[in-house]
Structure 1
């Protein structure tokens, strides 16, 4: 049942937006369910906004009526970030899709929150620049900032944490804050940008993002290399990182993923633990880096390492990697997906992956593993028949053991998916009672009425 306060907020926002406020069941359902097996929860209404000023007015209305307000980008998150367990207003930022400025000489840009990463790179292509953060899905820049997204290029270029210069956000009281200017570094006061990056819409609704840009490399070499075991592949990754070879991407896929790639993407990879790699630089530099890695792989019993520099060949290879979710899903018709991730120090990576594979086998579960292993991050994609109570129980047990295993190895419960609703229960295990208490105090200070994306990260 819609709370009376929310009913009043909906009526006032309707006056503001007219037909751009929807209460249609299909629209509400879309804005309350992500791409995982979590059941989701629809908002009471969806507001399609076009400016920071509109977001400001909507949040002010919701604050007055103490109605929940949840930011929505493209809906690609995986931990229930934008579900509405208490109802309220979903603020859809997808129409805020303008690139506001590009400062090519300073290698930065400012965009509205609804600009997607692919749209930004299309806009930048003629300027010889690109934005490197690539979480796979064509996510919005605002959503990527809110979830502290990462991806395949993180080993060289970092995550959203390192690539956001400043933010414009609407706070819970309806005020607008800009967190910083365009300088590449600052020691002026608290780091408000980093406070909001990764806050998942619980501390403010991000409406504009200032990002770092990079020059498109002169040469890009990409390739694949099979290994006799997960351990051999991980040891090759560790040596590559420790020797300082400037790899841009280094992705691990297990045998199950290779089978799925071959069937779904119509490629012909050897069915073995495999690394996908990419090197950026000059033509001579990428050739040297590729040869150095090939030597490391051979030492670990892997290979041959075959690599390409033609764009169409590279794109075909990486498209297969980006289609990993759909490739495995095509092998599991009728089952729902349950994707999760953890991250550990790379020295513990092989141990964590091997233990997880043993756990999957002992549990009788299908869970292909793929990882951004250059920074110790890997994903397990589990498939479940929700009607099978025993399978659901086994998956939940494996999920919890995976997280506890990663934290015990001085890792984290999530390297890039975020907390949302799905991993709230594990924050205290990772950060301790005092750490979570401090997060709760920050939330209470900035959002005392608990209207911004309530029920996520920390419970009030």
Structure 2
């Protein structure tokens, strides 16, 4: 937290706490343990607890809480499940955290129109469990069992993005509470519209800095008739990435294509007790008809062989696929196990796919010269990869080295026409990269922020400096 943020922090007004307690009763908590839990995410960033936590149950309650905070010039910080990675839920200037977990209703499912409307606290796993009997599913899978509201706020993606896109492409409409307590609805259920400004996309990825998202309408997809997964190791990481590039450029509609470097593979093999080679490895998944999946797999296998892919190991039974992808989703915790007691500084970049091999190879060269261990994983089908620096935040030299490596990786990605974050969001951990990435566009973002939130109470200190 910056010195400016420390100076700007003031405890919430006692009159506000009394007003919110009158509104919510026991669903307003000022207990230290509850506040601490809501002042941190999964990142290395320190805990910054709010002054109170409001456990809301409806859009109208959110609006009442926000309106009260606006009258008292008190910050508002939305909270889903706390799985973000750039400090997005930290209460840098104190204030009231709005916990959305109680807003967990699935409001409407329309199988004929392939859409669903949910409250913001619904998690992705619960949504898919609810949809199972309809033959539909929601494909965005960031790994953690995040809330749909949090995924929308951070513009999340994940392992399926190469085929199904990100939250940006899959949100049709929103209900949002603005900084003065007004409730608006954006978008709708039509698959296209040319009516006015696209407010939906404005709030998707705004990380709670423009308003509190309370309801989301999403696209759904049919569960594929056939699904097949495979694992293939490679002699070098460049061979693996070149395979990815060729598969994508060949138009093979792969559903997932994930890269784990040899460091991450050693962690995953040990943590999840898998029988795979400790080499740079691609995890594939193919969706479609049985004939289509067979054709996709054969084409991808042939391409992998050209780049030295040792062998495809197939996982076609649901239980085998689940074990494989659970191991991939547990990669973060597997990485932490490589250095017991460490914290993970998880970071990501995304580049045009033609520059992916170059970016990863240069990043790995930096790591080879460093004292830090940093396993690499990637949703490489869309040019996105992640590092987890294994650090002790109490050691300044390790923090300095992680900062140096991260700066080099991000600036490399930006020089290649990429972005400082493919899916983690900005929070306050990556704010300083935005002027380099967007230039004068940052001043336009600031104008939008000031117009919608003139008191700067909506998750202040995140995304845009005001």
Cα contact 1:338–1:382 (8 A) shared by 2: yes
Cα contact 1:221–1:286 (8 A) shared by 2: yes
SS class of match (1:182): coil
SS class of match (1:179): strand
Structure 1 residues 372-401: Cα deviation after superposition (integer angstroms, max 9, x where no partner): 000000000001122332222111111111
Cα contact 2:11–2:51 (8 A) shared by 1: no
| Alpha-carbon shift at residue 330 of structure 1 (Å) | 1.1
Cα contact 2:413–2:420 (8 A) shared by 1: yes
Map of 2:451 onto structure 1: 445
Query: What is the correspondence of 1:399-418 to structure 2 with a 5 Å cutoff?
Result: 399-418=406-425
Map of 2:381 onto structure 1: 374
Map of 2:266 onto structure 1: 259
Cα contact 1:6–1:88 (8 A) shared by 2: no
SS class of match (1:342): strand
Cα contact 1:74–1:94 (8 A) shared by 2: yes
Cα contact 2:48–2:92 (8 A) shared by 1: yes
Map of 2:250 onto structure 1: 243
Distance 1:6 1:106 in 2: 47
Cα contact 2:10–2:93 (8 A) shared by 1: no
Q: Please, which of 191, 196, 200 is the counterpart of residue 189 of structure 1? A: 196
Does residue 315 of the first structure (1) align with residue 358 of the second (2)? no
Change (3 A) 1:4 1:296: closer
Q: Please, which of 287, 290, 299 is the counterpart of residue 306 of structure 2? A: 299
Distance 1:336 1:214 in 2: 37
Query: What is the correspondence of 1:331-350 to structure 2 with a 5 Å cutoff?
Result: 331-350=338-357
Cα contact 1:163–1:212 (8 A) shared by 2: yes
Structure 1 residues 266-286: Cα deviation after superposition (integer angstroms, max 9, x where no partner): 111111110001000001111
Map of 2:94 onto structure 1: 87
- Runs of 4+ in structure 1 deviating by more than 4 angstroms, as ranges, are none
Structure 1 residues 275-305: Cα deviation after superposition (integer angstroms, max 9, x where no partner): 0010000011111111110000001111311
Distance 1:44 1:11 in 2: 13
Map of 1:326 onto structure 2: 333
Cα contact 1:246–1:289 (8 A) shared by 2: yes
Map of 1:30 onto structure 2: 37
Cα contact 2:11–2:94 (8 A) shared by 1: no
Does residue 227 of the first structure (1) align with residue 228 of the second (2)? no
Aligned length: 459
Distance 1:455 1:236 in 2: 41
Distance 1:3 1:383 in 2: 34
Runs of 5+ consecutive residues of structure 1 not aligned to the other structure: none
Cα contact 1:5–1:66 (8 A) shared by 2: no
SS class of match (2:85): coil
Comparing 2-11 with 385-394, which one deviates more in the overlay?
Answer: 2-11
Distance 2:13 2:355 in 1: 48
Change (3 A) 1:221 1:9: same
| Alpha-carbon shift at residue 95 of structure 1 (Å) | 0.7
Does residue 52 of the first structure (1) align with residue 59 of the second (2)? yes
Runs of 5+ consecutive residues of structure 2 not aligned to the other structure: 1-5
Cα contact 2:12–2:51 (8 A) shared by 1: no
SS class of match (1:106): coil
Map of 1:363 onto structure 2: 370
Cα contact 1:294–1:303 (8 A) shared by 2: no
| Alpha-carbon shift at residue 181 of structure 1 (Å) | 1.5
Change (3 A) 1:20 1:231: same
Distance 1:228 1:3 in 2: 56
Q: Please, which of 164, 168, 192 is the counterpart of residue 161 of structure 1? A: 168
Does residue 455 of the first structure (1) align with residue 466 of the second (2)? no
Structure 1 residues 415-435: Cα deviation after superposition (integer angstroms, max 9, x where no partner): 000000000000001001x11
Cα contact 2:205–2:425 (8 A) shared by 1: yes
| Alpha-carbon shift at residue 5 of structure 1 (Å) | 5.6
| Alpha-carbon shift at residue 6 of structure 1 (Å) | 3.1
Map of 2:401 onto structure 1: 394
SS class of match (1:247): coil
